[in-house]
Structure formats: structure tokens, C-alpha cells
Amino acid sequence: MNLWDYFTGTPHSFGEISHQRSDLAKFAGKQFCEFYQTELKPEQFIVIGDTPNDIACARAFGAKAVAVGTGRIHSTEELAKHNPDILLEDLRNTDKVLQILTNC
């Protein structure tokens, strides 16, 4: 299954929205609030990504940053230098990932 399939019909924000990562989280926050007809605060969001820009996106919005070292360009060690809230090698252990996201 393609990752995109999990987001069909729901609010989501990927890089095609804007080249400025800080805009992505703001856009997504607005989308979620409108879709779910509620007011969510930035600290209720979790940005998951595999680049330093994803961490910066979370910080610019006020969300939690979960970095995953599965990207093609940035190693886990490099991501750690950008101080994400959580740093994972990968997302293979679904139970562990869900526990982390629940407690984040």
C-alpha cells in the first residue's frame, strides 16, 4: 500500500502545498480545524518527517516534532542535531510508534 492511500479523504499536508515548510503546518492546522469543526491548538499537532525542514516546520507552528531516520538524504545522527522531540530509526515497530505518539 502506498503511504498516500492512508490520507485519501482526510486533511493532510505534504510538500506540494508550499516550498516554505513553516506554511505547511499552518495550512494543515487550518484544514484539520475546518474538517473536524473544532479548534485545535498547535501543540496538539505532531509533525512527522525525515528532514531537518520537517523539524523546523513543527517548531515554526508550535507542534511536536517526530523525526524518522528513513529518508534518503538525512541520517538519524544529522536529524538529532536539530533537536526533535522524538527521534526514531524507522516506523517498523507499530506498537512502539503508537505508544510514543499517544504520549507525545
Domain membership of residue 4 (yes or no) is no
The three cell numbers locating residue 17? 502545498
CATH code assigned at 28: 3.40.50.1000
Domain membership of residue 23 (yes or no) is yes
Please tell me whether residue 25 adopts helix, strand or coil conformation: helix
Domain membership of residue 8 (yes or no) is no
Domain membership of residue 73 (yes or no) is yes
Domain membership of residue 55 (yes or no) is yes
Domain membership of residue 7 (yes or no) is no
pLDDT values of the chain reduced to their tens digit, one per residue, 104 residues: 576 677 777 776 666 677 777 788 888 888 889 999 999 999 999 999 999 999 999 999 999 999 999 988 999 999 999 999 999 999 999 899 999 889 88
Q: What share of the chain is helix, strand, coil (3-state, %, to 5)?
A: 45, 10, 40
Domain membership of residue 6 (yes or no) is no
Nearest of 84, 79, 82 to residue 104 by alpha carbon: 84
Q: Are 42 and 62 in contact, with CB atoms under 8 Å apart?
A: yes
Tell me the residue range of the domain where 66 lies: 13-103
**Domains contained in the chain, number:** 1
Domain membership of residue 39 (yes or no) is yes
Please tell me the pTM assigned to this model. Answer: 0.82
Residues across the chain:
104
Q: Helices 52-61 and 21-36, interaxial angle, to 10°? A: 60
